[in-house]
Amino acid sequence: MEQYIIKGGKALAGEVTIGGAKNAALGILAASIMTDETVVIENLPDVRDINVLLQAIEEIGAKVERVDRHTAKISGGQISLVSIEYDFIRKIRASYYLIGALLGKYKTAEVALPGGCNIGSRPIDQHIKGFEALGADVKIQHGMIQANAKKLVGSHIYLDMASVGATINIMLAATLAEGQTIIENSAKEPHVVDVANFLNSMGANIKGAGTDVIRIKGVSKLHGSTYSIIPDQIEAGTFMFAAAATKGDVTVKNVIPKHLEAITAKLVEMGAEVEEFDDSVRVVATKRLGHTQVKTLPYPGYPTDMQPQITAVLAMSEGTSIVTESIFENRFKYVDELVKMGASIKVEGNTAIIDGVKELTGAIVSAPDLRAGAALVIAGLAAEGFTVVEQIEYIERGYENFEGKMRELGASMEKVDAEDEKAIRKFKLKVG
């Protein structure tokens, strides 16, 4: 088992380049098999969730060529299976996008129920409601979702909540349905827009992505395309908070500053300086940050995927802060780990009350999920002494070369095998 070992207390400084958005890439990869022609996807992050989905696409008969680390060429012309039941696919949430993609293209799909980060109950009733509205018959049997339709016909769908997954999934299926589909109360996240832009680049007719009403005029087929994925808003936000937590000075490059506004606003409120450029932001913190209140909300609100990171920073900020999680009911599991590092946090229902302490101290902690894992790394980078973060396979689902990028900013952080005591000793000797 691999783990991160971190010697905290160094101010991060320099430049870091952000990769492609994982959650956009997952939708885009699923969409890429909806044409028989070749699609080239650029700026793909090299992270576990993406590699698992590429494998799944290959297993059902698509041709996948990894042109380089961040580019894949995909041809969905020879798909022979519309049933996906590999154990590994259960591990990623976004396997459900293959239902929308296959249902749209072949009018039939069978995919194992999704897994993913355990951050709440994560139902998919809105996805199913959408497929049914388009005329599909959807059943859940033996752990599989089966969707079948004679034909798909456009429909008017009201989502009960602005679900990212349901919006993308319905958009995928509706792209190849007959007539017009309208999705009301659709999610407005940047990755929803990116998937829509990609589908349009393949010949789809989707309007309104990024607003709460999306209109899709069905087309009979899609064609090949070359497309570059937008930068990852959450990877960028994570580095911005790491910079602020360590009283650093970091320029986060290859970002769309507009997508980061909710994150930037909170950092500024807490006392950091954030300078925006065309495609980068610079975060500078010279003193201990202050307290704030934040509630996670759908875009353009403060993202739930940045909730653990802000909590980690507030744990060392001055005063009492309140963090309210309104999207997922079980996203505070990492708080016990921060408490091991000396944080003073009480969780009541969906609210964390944080009494900022002057300093966190290094400890052995375990990542309960992807973003919480990143938050523990931030805490470790700012803490006094050594921190070991276990279960980093969660972090590697969504962050490419996390330790390498942190090291380039001056962090003392290494990925080591938990059994390799020699490597651990060597690291400790090196960093003192």
Catalytic residue IDs: 117
Phi, psi of 85 (to 5 degrees): -135, 45
CB of 415 to ligand EPZ, least distance (A): 20
* Kind plus residue range of the DSSP H or E element containing 98: helix 97-106
Task: For residue 336, give the nearest of 393, 291, 376 by alpha carbon.
Answer: 376
Angle between helices 164-175 and 190-201 (to 10 degrees): 10
C-beta separation of 303 from 374 below 8 A: no
Residue 132, SS3 per DSSP: helix
Length of the chain: 432
CA dihedral 253, 256, 262, 266 (to 10 degrees): 20
Structure-block tokens of residue 174: 């509706």
125 or 420: CB nearest ligand EPZ? 125
Count CB neighbours of 121 within 10 A. 8
C-beta separation of 26 from 49 below 8 A: yes
39 or 157: CB nearest ligand EPZ? 157
371 or 405: CB nearest ligand EPZ? 371
CB of 378 to ligand EPZ, least distance (A): 15
CB of 327 to ligand EPZ, least distance (A): 5
34 or 157: CB nearest ligand EPZ? 157
Structure-block tokens of residue 357: 């302490």
Structure-block tokens of residue 173: 């299926």
CB of 377 to ligand EPZ, least distance (A): 14
C-beta separation of 370 from 398 below 8 A: yes
C-beta separation of 36 from 412 below 8 A: no
Q: Which residue is nearest to ligand EPZ (CB)?
A: 165
218 or 368: CB nearest ligand EPZ? 368
By DSSP bridging, strand 273-276 and strand 225-228 are: unpaired
165 or 380: CB nearest ligand EPZ? 165
Residue 143, SS3 per DSSP: coil
Q: Which amino acid is at 383?
A: A
CB of 78 to ligand EPZ, least distance (A): 26
CA-based radius of gyration for the chain: 22
CA distance 34 to 199: 9
166 or 214: CB nearest ligand EPZ? 166
Answer whether the bond into residue 308 is a cis peptide, omega within 30°: no
CB of 304 to ligand EPZ, least distance (A): 5
Which residues of this protein are in contact with ligand EPZ, per CB under 6 A?
Answer: 23, 26, 93-94, 117, 120, 122-127, 161, 163-166, 187, 189, 304-305, 327-328, 370-371, 398
By DSSP bridging, strand 38-42 and strand 225-228 are: parallel
CB of 165 to ligand EPZ, least distance (A): 3
